[in-house]
Amino acid sequence: MIKFKACGRCEGDVYFNADRRGVDVYCLQCGSRRFFTHDDMRDLTAQKVTDAQATDDIQEAA
User: Measured from the CB atom, is 17 or 29 closer to Zn ion?
Assistant: 29
At its nearest, how many Å lie between Zn ion and the CB of residue 62? 21
User: What does the alpha-carbon distance between residue 27 and residue 61 come to, in Å, rounded to a whole number?
Assistant: 18
User: Measured from the CB atom, is 7 or 49 closer to Zn ion?
Assistant: 7
At its nearest, how many Å lie between Zn ion and the CB of residue 12? 4
User: What does the alpha-carbon distance between residue 25 and residue 38 come to, in Å, rounded to a whole number?
Assistant: 13
Name 2's bridge partners. 15
At its nearest, how many Å lie between Zn ion and the CB of residue 1? 16
Closest of 20, 30, 23, 18 to residue 49, by C-alpha: 23
Q: Catalog residues that contact Zn ion under the rule CB under 5 A.
A: 7, 9-10, 12, 27, 29-30, 32
